[in-house]
Amino acid sequence: MQAVKSNAKLIEMILESCGYGKLLQIGSNVESLLPGLIAQGVDAHTIHKSGTDADLINADAHDREPDSSFLELPFADEYFETIVSIGGLEKLATNKVAVALGELYRVSSRYVFLRLATGQSPEAHLLQTRQDRTWWETRCFEAGFRKHPLFYQVNPYESLNSDGSEILIALEKAPKAALQHFDLLVLAEERLLHTDMLRETGRRSDAHCIRYHKAVEYIRPGDRVLDVACGLGYGSHILYSSSSARSVIGIDLSDFSIDYANAHYGRSDAVRFEVGDAQALSQIPDNSIDFITAFETIEHVPDPDEYLTQLKRVLKPSGRLMVCAPNNWVDETGKDPNPYHLHVYTWARLIEECGSHFLLEKGFFQTAGGGMRYHHSPRGWVEAIPKRECEQDGEWVLLLCMADPINGKDVAYEETSWSQPDSPDFNVSAFARDYKNPWLVKGMIAIGMRAQSEDLLQDMQKSVLEMADPTSTDFASALCGQVYALAKQGRLTDTTLEEIRASALRYAGIIKPSPHQLRWQVSLLFAVGEVARKSGNLDDAERFYSMCAAIDVTPYSALLGNKTLDALYWLSILAVAKHNIEQARAYLEKSVLEAQRLMSAPWLNMIGNSSRPLPFGFPELSQLMDRAARAAYMLNALDECQAKPGLFHHESQGFFERQLSFASVRSRDLEANVDLLARNLTEAETSKQELARQVSETEERAQDLGRQVIETEARAQDFARQVVALNAQLLKLANAQGSLCFQIMRGFRFISRRISRLISKNNS
């Protein structure tokens, strides 16, 4: 992972994982975070450099240095809720790290947050212990810690593919009593079947834990969660700690697993574990669970169809199930080598079997690497449309499923997400009172809770429109969803426009509507106005916006007034476009007066109970006020809207709308800069590759030339040897020639003397 250079980002990570409890920061860089933590309201402390004075400092952070030794902290056991160490542990000798971690375990009562430099750090030469994440995490587990349940929010899954120059480790203390009965040696003995992935490091641990973090994204507030085949309970702990779930129950066949889970992760009624058969779930009542995690279980059960039937039985209508299976784990014989796997699953098989019991909302492929398949692949998590044909692949396949809310109309509805005031005048979340099938709210209607698949939503809407009473809230909610889907398409045919106009007008014509019928009358009229405007039919848009703005929303809730003020806004814009400035002024003035009136309405249907207010009440009221601010800005610029049309356009935003608009523009600019940088990097990479190719070619030519030089040198040396040999032969020949010449000369002299004597003798 990349180094976390921003102190503000690091402080946010600490707060999100450890909260605001009493905190001690130690290490070699105390001043970096302490002022920021104190400014955030944290009871944050450090100690004097000497280590002999145990007085805490939590006022001025300047000119403070921490004790250089981690080996003997001057505090009582569990004196601090959280200890943060920024630089320091890695500067200890390796053989002293265990002692230091033991001190952190002793002094902290709950959490420890570490930032550690690695051997890739620019300051690596200052470190005595240069180890990777695996080594550090293992030492932490040996000291009695486990991964923090929010560990993977601090360390996103893909970021763990490499360490970088520093690592972050968020830890939680395992209970002392649990450690006495279930130490790491016990886990090693059980590891073939199951282990505690919060007390293990590496790819396998990351792969199992990240599924639970991904599941958390789909848990609704107040959900009752079931963790099927929960093993040692670490996943249930993650689900409860990381979500707004009301409770989690873990079921597993193993007595050892349940004993371990209760010792380590049990939390009274909030998180509990029971021995049970995943294929029977006999202790779980029908329609009692809101969310189920069923990870790597379906391949183990004898009868997968019965298993899915039981999951469907206990799941409430609109409840969700996330199921996971190994993806085609087979060897060369075509069989799964794991003796505990009774079935081989593929994407297509999981789609087929789960699709026969549930609605399929999303699909995922997960890879960890290091295993039987994709051994050398990095960690990866990819979302996919849940259809049989898919080009994606991975080590595991996962599906997010939903129990069909349409089939649950006869199941008694219980509101678990929001507190319900005990008053007949409360309307906002009185779904059981005003809907024929209130389960549709979570499955098809409520943003943030409903299905996240557009195709699935449209299928639900179509079914409801075919089956429901045309005057019911169920029908209107489906119709409104359909109209908004059409609004995204822009221009529509006249036939389609006429059909939705007629449907909306029929519903708006209901006399004396119930509060929720009124809610959908307003929403439908506004939605049709949106469709007409985006289709260019401005007369129709003005007509439907006017009808929407004319309805008093307070019999339902003042929160619905956001639609009223939006309708008045568009009416004012259309009036300005026609140069009817006074009409625009009337709409804007009505917006201001309407906002004042709505804010004086009963607060019961805005926030519900004051002790447990509706979480969306105040945010929607703030939006209402921002729309009023928009009208105020526009009124102040209206007189000059003809002379300064650009200024009027700029002023036609509320205060928060402006911040969002600015952030959006800034985001687009950053994205453009990132795109430009990416293009530059691509071009640079292309140039680099071309240069590398040229260098390679040059190197090849150089090597070829070198070979030629070597060959020439060899030939030259051979020629030199031949020359030397020839020279020796010439010298020998020359020597031989010299001797022959001498002999000839002697012969000539001998013959000459003989001739001379013969001549002399003859003469005489």
Examine the pLDDT at 59 and tell me if it is beyond 60.
no
Q: What is the pLDDT of residues 399-442, one digit of tens each?
A: 999 999 999 989 999 999 999 999 999 999 999 999 999 999 99
Residue 48 pLDDT:
52
Examine the pLDDT at 524 and tell me if it is beyond 90.
yes
What is the rounded average pLDDT of the residues 666-681?
A: 84
What is the rounded average pLDDT of the residues 98-103?
A: 94
Rounded distance between C-alpha atoms, residue 616 and residue 608, angstroms: 10
Examine the pLDDT at 673 and tell me if it is beyond 80.
yes
Of 56-65, 301-310, 698-707, the one with minimum mean pLDDT is: 56-65
Q: How confident is the model at residue 741 (pLDDT cuts 50, 70, 90)?
A: low
Residue 67 pLDDT:
40
Q: What is the pLDDT of residues 621-654, one digit of tens each?
A: 999 999 999 999 999 999 999 999 999 998 999 8
Residue 740 corresponds to which amino acid? L
Residue 203 corresponds to which amino acid? R
Rounded distance between C-alpha atoms, residue 91 and residue 640, angstroms: 67
Q: How confident is the model at residue 715 (pLDDT cuts 50, 70, 90)?
A: confident
**3-class SS of residue 116:** strand
**3-class SS of residue 663:** helix
Rounded distance between C-alpha atoms, residue 4 and residue 681, angstroms: 23
What is the rounded average pLDDT of the residues 315-344?
A: 85
Examine the pLDDT at 515 and tell me if it is beyond 90.
yes
Q: What is the pLDDT of residues 238-258, one digit of tens each?
A: 999 999 999 999 999 999 999
CA atoms within 13 A on the CB side of 318: 28
Examine the pLDDT at 63 and tell me if it is beyond 80.
no
CB 576 within 8 A of CB 641: yes
Question: Look-up: residue for tokens 């690091």?
Answer: 10
Examine the pLDDT at 126 and tell me if it is beyond 90.
no
Q: How confident is the model at residue 748 (pLDDT cuts 50, 70, 90)?
A: low
Rounded distance between C-alpha atoms, residue 643 and residue 662, angstroms: 25
Rounded distance between C-alpha atoms, residue 688 and residue 701, angstroms: 19
Q: How confident is the model at residue 761 (pLDDT cuts 50, 70, 90)?
A: low
Mean of all residue pLDDT scores within the chain: 89
More confident residue, 291 or 488: 291
Helix, strand, coil in percent for the chain, rounding step 5: 55, 15, 35
CA 258, 252, 284 angle in degrees (round to 5)?
110
Distance of CA 655 to the CA centre of its chain: 31
What is the rounded average pLDDT of the residues 557-578?
A: 97
Q: What is the pLDDT of residues 160-210, one digit of tens each?
A: 998 888 899 999 999 999 999 888 888 877 766 678 999 999 999 999 999
Examine the pLDDT at 116 and tell me if it is beyond 60.
yes
What is the rounded average pLDDT of the residues 205-219?
A: 96
Residue 338 pLDDT:
73
Strand (E) or helix (H) holding 32: none
Examine the pLDDT at 330 and tell me if it is beyond 80.
no
With 0-12 CB in 10 A as exposed, 13-18 as middle and 19+ as buried, what is 313? middle
Residue 252 pLDDT:
96
